[in-house]
A = this chain, B = another copy of it.
Amino acid sequence: MKKPKIVVLGAGYGGLVTVTRLQKALSVDEANIVLVNKNDYHYETTWLHEASAGTMHHDRVRYDVDAVINRSKVEFIRAEVQDIKPEEKKVILNTGEVDYDYLVVALGGESETFGIEGLKEHAFTISNVNTSRQLRDHIEFQFATYANEEEKKEERLTFVVGGAGFTGIEFLGELANRVPELCKEYDIDYSKVRIYCVEAAPMVLPGFDPELVKYAVAQLEKKGVEFKIGTPIKGATAEGIIVAKGEDETEEIKAGTVVWAAGVRGSSIIEKSGIENMRARVKVNPDLRAPGHDDIFVLGDCSLIINEEINRPYPPTAQIAMQQGETVARNLVKLVKGETELETFTPHLKGTVCSLGDDDAIGVVFDKKLTGTKASFMKKMIDNRALFMIGGPSLVLKKGKFNIL
């Protein structure tokens, strides 16, 4: 009898938890496990705001896939996924093809610009290691150029962050901490810098406890962030952004740096594949398989699961992606062993902490509200836990955050 071939697409949180669990649970005689990823490294998506602001080197937010997979059990293919052909049970890569018996789609998300004109061309995003170091270098170049140019363009020192959700707020926290360092580095007066947070929705961090949000806004304002809430961005240009002002009017905000941190959608590969989806996310069955595809599991940013309590989708988080990875791995083991009764996925939300820079945060952990250094400590513990889930104690020791205040 032929050994089943399990192909996992993506080495993000969900994909790596799946693979590390599979390599433990299955022997080489039971299944072939293949991991496909664009890079030979995993990166901590939830730490990218730090690499983007320049408060942490990008090499600290990534580690080699080889550090956590067992190459005697897992075949690693470094390639870009171009398409999935469910009928032919194969995946098209930029370097060739790979066929599968079971497929795990853990390709992560992409930035969603909602068709706002100019954003794709003129705004930076916080999506991966490449976008982060580009944004970091762009910011430094703005300061250096301002210091050198004879006719000073004040807008070089203006930063617009589009979106007051999780990524936007966490990036603002780092940026506000970084700006005084940059001013010192480039001999620039701190008062010249302006940082705007522009958000279409009428609130900051929707879904978060209002008392904590108030704290976060006050802390960021103290560091110089100006909030423009209920202000939709209408477009981006080489000079800055256009925002709505009242009913029909618009206003220009000149800015040397525009960061779009307002939306994540699933992978465009999902859309191309023909698998049923909503904005590139698959509303998965309770066992995390794609409807109508008994051999395809989908998790992380590519999956959509509904929080029945409030009848809204769960936000795609690392926490949920990793929990999904554990379920997917257990369900694959069942299938390989010939069982047909699969496990149902239930998220166990342990809490959420939103960082406001290295020294501050807000969060709810086990139903307890936290702010300041306590919340910041919890945030670091959560970051370390993600390392632990995938690479065990040795990875925590190697890449963990121990700069506890």
The answer, yes or no, to whether A186 is at the interface (CB within 8 Å) is yes
Selected from B137, B145, B187, the residue in CB contact (under 8 A) with A144 is: B137
- Separation of A134 and B149 alpha carbons in the complex (Å): 10
Contacts of A186 in B (CB 8 A): 133
Shortest Cβ distance from A143 into B: residue: B137
A143 to B140, alpha carbons, bound, how many Å?
14
List of B residues within 8 angstroms of A143 by Cβ: 137
Question: Which residues in B have their C-beta under 8 angstroms from that of A134?
Answer: 141, 144-145, 147-148
Complexed CA–CA distance, A279 and B107 (Å): 62
Is A136 an interface residue when CB atoms closer than 8 A count as contact? yes
Q: How far is the CA of A253 from the CA of B141 in the complex (A)?
A: 24
B133 touches A137 (CB 8 A): no
A44 to B234, CA, bound (A): 48
Bound complex: CA A205 to CA B228 (Å): 57
Helix, strand, loop or mixed for chain A's interface?
Answer: helix
**Number of this chain's copies in the complex:** 2
A147–B133 alpha-carbon span in the complex (Å): 9
| B interface footprint on A136-177 (CB within 8 Å = 1, 0 otherwise) | 111011011101100000000000000000000000000000
Query: Once the chains are docked, how many angstroms separate the CA of A147 from the CA of B138?
Result: 13
For residue A58, which residue of chain B has the nearest CB?
B185
Contacts of A145 in B (CB 8 A): 134, 137
Report if A131 contacts B (CB, 8 A). yes
Q: Is the CB of B136 within 8 A of A144?
A: yes
Say if the beta carbon of A130 comes within 8 Å of chain B: yes
Measured between beta carbons, the chain B residues less than 8 angstroms from A141 are 134, 137-138, 140-141
- The chain B residue with its CB closest to the CB of A131 is B148
Q: A131-B148, A148-B131 are known contacts. Are A137 and B140 too (CB-CB below 8 A)?
A: yes
The one of B39, B131, B138, B148 that contacts A130, using a Cβ cutoff of 8 Å: B148
A residues neighboring B (CB under 8 Å): 39, 130-131, 133-134, 136-138, 140-141, 143-145, 147-148, 185-187
In the A-B complex, list the 9 residue pairs whose CB atoms are closest, starting with the nearest: A130-B148, A134-B144, A137-B141, A137-B144, A134-B148, A137-B140, A133-B144, A130-B147, A141-B141
Q: List 10 A-B contacts (CB under 8 A).
A: A39-B187, A130-B144, A130-B148, A131-B148, A133-B144, A133-B147, A134-B145, A137-B137, A137-B143, A140-B140
